Chain A
């Protein structure tokens, strides 16, 4: 069974470094631009002063039908990995292959404008996701319907509650019909009934795509995921199809960390 599944995302030995100091970040940045201008190699595989590996030799394979949850403490590299897969950040080492269309929900409200109506925002945000006008026209009824905004769809976004905005944001992202859907804490807001609707929707669309989501809400993992991975200090430390076990591992690890901090 496993072999027949279609591979959508393959992350091979990927590393990503960042600079933890603002001044040095500027110095390295300008040096890099100078190197690009004269055409020399950037040598991204070595650490320079004040740099650290946010991700180190990470491997990951995600197949169609996967509902993968990535757990990890703050700063473990979850969002960085998602941005690499989405193609927002360039990789420093290794290779990422993405087959199909990626839609990512990082901050659910980003790219939305308060003076413009929900409908206008669908067109703007849809464009950001790479949809053409025809594709948006095809999907707009579904998006309006799913977001349950009713008459509010033609009111300025500024009049929406934060739950309504995130409903719209979610509906647009799912409306793009991606092969790879990345959700980074995107379901943090919205009322209980809408969350349930999202979960059901995610379950049903996951058969035709893959969903990678990041959350700190353990309950959500239990309901949704069919695969779980734990990231710690830029490395995967746990992987399982058994969600319960994975959660236990994560809770143990978190507990260990907090007790360590408590003792010291």
Chain B
């Protein structure tokens, strides 16, 4: 029979490797809960709708239509980018939204599920994994639509385009890491999250997302150069759009850094989460 011993030091007994093992076994044992929560998240927003799951396609389709109208109207056409500006913005925006969805989704996860957490003892990491799956789900459908539109507007895809998704992994890892850290902090006080949310808004414009480096000023260029996210976004984007990328060694170093950040975030999450649960009633 399974025996659990709880003391104030219980959570410090394991090291990082122990935490990672726990993570693996929790996901394995609670896979049904994970499946249920994913299904719940996807279905509950459409349960009380007549069109139902059709909305999963309709919503991204509408935003694509808006972008197409803008493109045809010629409002957005600086003309000096390698690919059509529309394609560039469409893709960059969805990459950025993908990155933010990890941070936002995970950082809200503990507080959003507070009611359940205070009543049931289940591994909190399950709701983090659930948010990760939802982020992928929310990204893939608009992405496929964007690619169809891009093909329609004459963008040529090459074999390297297939490396696009794997190349996004370091960016995803950074989103998850910040999400983990801020989910714990948010239970105590929301101030830090509010500051960081605003920081992320600003960061979007300090990263070449909605504009290309070709049109940026010197100051912005300097910031962009030292912003690690620049490389994590440009590399996969260029892979997909078939452009060259000369900083792949910087990309690899930042990827390694993101992995270290993730390990630290997981460690912090496992050590800190138990102590914030009692604050959820406040």
From residue A229, how far is it (CB to closest CB) to chain B in Å?
20
Say yes or no: is B277 at the interface (Cβ < 8 Å to chain A): yes
Taking the complex as formed, is A237 at the interface, i.e. its CB lies under 8 A from any CB of chain B? no
Report chain A residues within 8 Å CB of B33: 124, 127-128, 130
- A214 interface residue (CB < 8 Å to B): no
User: Looking at chain B's contact residues, is the secondary structure mostly helix, strand, loop, or mixed?
Assistant: helix
A97 to B: closest C-beta gap in Å: 5
Q: Are B185 and A90 neighbours in the complex by a CB distance under 8 Å? A: no
Asked, given contacts A33-B185, A88-B277, A130-B30, whether A97 binds B119 with beta carbons under 8 Å apart, the answer is no
Determine the chain A residues whose CB is within 8 A of the CB of B36 once the complex forms: 123-124, 127
Which single member of A18, A83, A116 contacts B47 (CB below 8 Å)? A116
Cβ contact within 8 Å between B40 and A33: no
Quick check: A111 and B115 within 8 Å, CB to CB?
A: yes
Q: Is B54 an interface residue (CB 8 A)?
A: no
Question: For B117, what are the chain A residues with a Cβ–Cβ distance below 8 Å?
Answer: 88
When A95-B5, A97-B5 are in contact, do A104 and B121 touch as well, CB less than 8 Å? yes
A89 to B228: give the CA distance in the assembly, Å.
39
Chain B residues within 8 Å of A45, by CB: 8
Q: Contacting B279 at CB < 8 Å: which of A25, A87, A107?
A: A25
**In the bound complex, what is the Cα–Cα distance between A99 and B272 (angstroms)?**
25
Kindly identify, within residues 91 to 114 of chain A, every residue whose CB is under 8 Å from any CB belonging to chain B.
91-102, 104, 106-107, 110-111, 113
Interface assignment of A30: CB less than 8 Å from any CB of chain B: yes
> Does B62 make an interface contact (CB < 8 A)?
no
Q: A32-B275, A42-B8, A136-B32 are in contact. Are A110 and B2 (CB under 8 A)?
A: no
Near A by CB (< 8 A), chain B positions 4-59 give 4-8, 10-11, 29-37, 40, 43-44, 47-48
Contact B48 A115 (CB under 8 A): yes
B281 closest partner in A (C-beta): A18
**Do A30 and B189 touch (CB < 8 A)?**
yes
Which B residues lie within 8 Å of A126 (CB)?
32
Which chain A residues numbered 177 to 218 have a C-beta less than 8 Å away from chain B? 179
Q: Let me know if B276 and A128 touch, CB within 8 A.
A: no
A interface, how many residues as a size bin?
35 or more
Say yes or no: A113-B8 contact (C-beta < 8 A), given A18-B278, A99-B1, A106-B118: no
- Contacts A33-B272, A110-B119, A116-B47 given: A99-B3 contact, CB under 8 Å? yes
Provided the pairs A97-B3, A115-B44, A127-B36 are in contact, do residues A86 and B184 lie with their beta carbons within 8 angstroms?
no
Decide: A29 near B276, CB < 8 A? Known: A36-B268, A37-B268, A106-B119.
Answer: yes
* Residue A129 interfacial (CB < 8 Å): yes
Partner among B30, B116, B187, B188 whose Cβ is within 8 Å of the Cβ of A110: B116
Interface flag for A224 (CB, 8 Å): no
Tell me how far the C-beta of A126 lies from the nearest C-beta in chain B, rounded to whole angstroms: 8
Taking the closest CB of chain B, its distance from the CB of A109, in whole angstroms, is 10
The residues in A between 22 and 79 inclusive whose CB is less than 8 angstroms from any CB of B are: 22, 25-26, 29-30, 32-33, 36-37, 42, 44-45
A44 to B12, CA, bound (A): 13
A254: Cβ under 8 A from any B Cβ? no
| A12 and B30 alpha carbons, distance in the complex (Å) | 30
| B271 contacts the other chain (CB 8 A) | yes
Asked if B32 contacts A131 (CB within 8 A), the reply is yes
Interface residues of B in 230-282 (CB under 8 A from A): 268, 271-272, 274-279, 282
Alpha-carbon distance A29/B189, docked complex (angstroms) = 8
Could you name 11 residue pairs across A and B whose Cβ atoms are closer than 8 Å? A36-B275, A83-B118, A90-B8, A90-B274, A95-B7, A99-B3, A100-B1, A102-B121, A116-B47, A123-B32, A128-B122
Given A98-B3, A104-B120, A110-B119, 12 more contacts at CB 8 Å?
A25-B282, A29-B188, A29-B189, A33-B272, A42-B8, A87-B121, A115-B48, A124-B33, A127-B35, A127-B36, A128-B33, A136-B32
Closest 10 pairs between A and B when the two form their complex, measured CB to CB: A127-B33, A29-B188, A115-B47, A110-B119, A87-B121, A96-B6, A133-B32, A90-B274, A106-B119, A26-B189
Binding site for B on A (CB under 8 A): 18, 22, 25-26, 29-30, 32-33, 36-37, 42, 44-45, 83-84, 86-102, 104, 106-107, 110-111, 113, 115-116, 123-124, 126-133, 136, 179
